[in-house]
Amino acid sequence: MQLSTTPAQDGFYFPAEFQPVSQVWLAWPERRDNWRDSALPAQQTFARIANAIADVTKVCVAVSSKQFDHARQVLHCEIRLVEIPYNDAWMRDIGPTVVVNKAGERRGISWTFNAWGGAYNGLYENWQQDDLVASSVCDIIGIDHYRAPFVLEGGAIHTDGEGTLYTTEECLLSPGRNPQLSKAEIEKNLREYLSIEKVIWLPKGLFNDETDGHVDNLMHVIAPGKVVLSWTDDPSDPQYALSREAEKVLKAHKDAKGRSIEVIRLPLPGPLHYSEGEASGIDISKGMNRHAGERLSASYANFLIVNEHVFLPLLDEKTDAEAMAILNEAMPEYQIIGIPSREVLLGGGNIHCITQQIPA
């Protein structure tokens, strides 16, 4: 059921990803103007990721009727498949953000979705089905939902579950999202729908990120007052200045509970680029241009935390082990599970972008 109130009015708040999770949702990739070679390589990678997560918690995968049988063959038998219409497979952005209250009740938020920029710079022209996915997921799992009257994607926000929200100005203030709203009005909406007390605005996201700088590709909150941040020490890399700007903001602010924020630097893979074969393997479309040699927006921060496990994208054999080691040290109580995920990266995101956790 769609509610007419807001989460803040009803005492619901946005919990952290490191709080207990009851299930994780994905959507099956098939869009040929985004996933190369009829999406088959991406489907193999999505299956590997979904099957790994299924060892830790319940997994549900949205799928189209024409892909149902193929998905059933490659996904573990305990993974639930649900036929839901959608335009592309970014469940973080099209699925519900689920909020909880002190009694442990859950409700979903269906953000307004416009393909990361609408008519201004959206990645595709028809996103009507995507915009209905969050409410469908809420119906399937049996929770009520709120419909937010402004554009937002799940990948644009991170929280510590204790009142602090992290986002980027590049994304939330982009002309394609909510041009009619001021920064203060957007912040008021975030407080109303997520019950957060403080917004920490980072200037920009990761270089060449076609989502206009989603925060989940730049950093991740791993504990209250503790974040990992994508980092490079190469002054010639365009990300060099962007990461330093972000770190400066993080270190200048206290979180909602008055704590200083500990920043752990996580090296970037690469730089990585589209190969000739990868760029030419997709159908040409207006919104999603892929060119050989173009920089990929690759990041180890785009991982998923589920019940004491971290599902980490493996992207570059020169830096994978270092990223694993840094996270092992920063999160000693977690099991770090690395999964090769370049095929997800080629579509414009990574493991965090294709998953949406439902709190326990």
Query: Active-site residues: which are they?
Result: 353
Q: Are 222 and 262 in contact (CB under 8 A)?
A: no
Q: What is the token pair recorded at 320? A: 């994978």
Closest CA to 322 of 259, 254, 233: 233
Angle at 173 between CA 167 and CA 174, to 5 degrees: 115
Distances (CA, A) of 33 to 13, 42, 350, 352: 37, 13, 17, 21
Quote the DSSP letter at residue 271: -
Q: Are 292 and 201 in contact (CB under 8 A)?
A: no
Using left for φ > 0, alpha for ψ between -120 and 50, and beta otherwise, residue 208 falls in left
**Other beta carbons less than 10 A from residue 230's beta carbon:** 26
206, 296, 347 from 210: Cα distances, Å: 9, 10, 10
Beta bridge partners of 3: 146
Chain length of the chain: 360
Q: What is the DSSP string of 104-169?
A: --EEEEEEE--TTTHHHH-S-S--TTHHHHHHHHHHHHT--EEEEEEE--GGG-EE-SSSEEEEEH
**What does the alpha-carbon distance between residue 140 and residue 134 come to, in Å, rounded to a whole number?**
10
- Residue 51 CA to chain centroid, in angstroms? 19
Q: Are β-strands 2-3 and 145-151 bridged in parallel, bridged antiparallel, or unpaired?
A: parallel
